[in-house]
Amino acid sequence: MDCSNSSNNSFNNSFKNNRVLVTGGSRGIGLAVSTAFACQGATVAMLFRQNREAAEQALATLPGDGHSLIQADVADAGAVETAINEAIEKLGGLDIVVNNAGIGAYHPPQSSSYEQWQQAWQSTLATNLVGPANICFCAARHMMAHGGGRIINISSRGAFRGEPGKPAYGASKAGLNSLTQSLAVALAPHKVFVAAVAPGFVNTELAAELLSGPDGDAIRAQSPFNRVAEPQEVAHAVLFLASKGAEFSTGTIIDVNGASYLRS
């Protein structure tokens, strides 16, 4: 990976020697975040759920040394505790956590069975809200005992505008925003700062089929830029919130949606 063209060069290697855990860190937004931190001198542990081969390929692209992989399902409370302990052991501590792992199954009420509806809610909340809450808890306990840290949660535009095709996703991200702000208040006295980034559509492999399909032009036209965000633009917001000097932005939720949705 050549960091010379990184959009995050303005941070001037300010994360050197920081130890960073990124969930869902081996593809899409997570890989962009992992790469951005590595380009700034941080040591990164990328948490992945299932595809080890793809995770190993992603790990090999990170600049610098000492990076590692951790396999865990964030929906599994026991696995979360083990993963945080493994990250602390592999990295020699933990300064920054980015909660990026998430799912978003479609389950519109008009066409879903009751069984499908229940399953979508259970799996989505377990992965997108309860899992990050458990990660925050385990990471914060370590950070409080070791001088503080940063937790950045990846939310969504859907938390504010609603998600009619996948309401559990929108609700989970709204809950994640509330969790972010609750923890920002609770943990600030312990020098643990918590914030969130809320992207709209992002140009990742998960969105590729939709963006290349018949709805692609309409999706891009939602923004006055007539495009969707690049993963590196989301990573840039994450790095700002994790940087020294951003402490008073704890509790902040930064929109990265190209003015496709404006909230008051």
User: Sheet holding 192-199: strands in order across?
Assistant: 68-71, 43-48, 19-23, 96-99, 149-154, 192-199, 253-256
Q: Which residues are catalytic?
A: 169
**Do 160 and 176 form a contact (C-beta atoms < 8 A)?**
no
Amino acid, res. 119: Q
- In angstroms, the Cα distances linking 192 to 60, 83, 94, 98, 130 are 31, 20, 12, 13, 19
**Do 26 and 46 form a contact (C-beta atoms < 8 A)?**
yes
Tokens of 202: 């992002």
Tokens of 168: 């559990």
Three-class SS state of 107: coil
Distance CA 152, CA 179 (A): 11
**Residue 23 φ/ψ, nearest 5 degrees:** -80, 145
